[in-house]
A = this chain, B = another copy of it.
Amino acid sequence: MIIRNLKDIRASDRNVKSDGWASARLLLDDDKMGFSFHLTTMFAGSELKMHYQNHLEAVLVLKGTGTIEDLDSGQTHELKAGVLYALNENDRHIVRPETDLLTACVFNPPVTGGEVHDENGAYPAAEPALTS
């Protein structure tokens, strides 16, 4: 049994900050669960264009408000506590947080924790982890 505490993760190298978001990686690939589980905050006022070509992702909003634009369908959906979006078709999307958006995120396959978004807003497929 694995026991993790968000407070500890946030004080560790499993807490990743980038442009417009910060993510506490509670479970990663090396935990061998077959998925990774992150608590991610997307910051108010940012515009996050993403396209996970190699991963499926589900995101449950726990707190905050914003929108998600589906770049394939052109539709925009409201985000607030209790709304989940799932990128079941590697959907290209833009998240626009109006307030800080606190979210619980699950990735399949699990991320290793070392990935960075590439120029397309994707994480690479299984590659050696980057260290910065």
How does the 8 Å CB contact mask read for A66-92 relative to B, with 1 for contact and 0 for none? 001010110001000011111111010
Q: Specify which of B2, B60, B104 is in contact with A85 (CB 8 Å cutoff).
A: B2
Which residues of the partner chain B approach A106 to less than 8 Å between Cβ atoms?
33, 35, 37, 106
> Which residues on B sit within 8 Å (CB–CB) of A4?
83-86
**In the assembled complex, which residues on chain B have CB atoms less than 8 Å from the CB atom of A5?**
82-84
Tell which of A15-23, A24-32, A40-48, A121-129 binds the partner.
A24-32
A6 to B62, CA, bound (A): 11
Complex CA distance for A108 and B88, rounded to whole angstroms? 16
Q: How many residues of A contact B (CB 8 A)?
A: 38
In angstroms, Cα B85 to Cα A18, docked, is: 26
Interface of A is mostly: strand
Chain B residue numbers with a CB within 8 Å of A86 are: 1-2, 4, 27, 31, 33
Does chain B have a CB within 8 A of A11?
no
CB pair A89–B35 under 8 Å, yes or no, is: no
Q: Closest B-chain residue to A8, C-beta based?
A: B82
- The interface residues of chain B lying within 8 Å CB-to-CB of A56 are 33-34
A130 at the interface (CB under 8 A from B): no
Question: Which 5 A-B pairs have CB atoms at the shortest separation, nearest pair first?
Answer: A6-B82, A2-B86, A34-B108, A1-B91, A4-B84
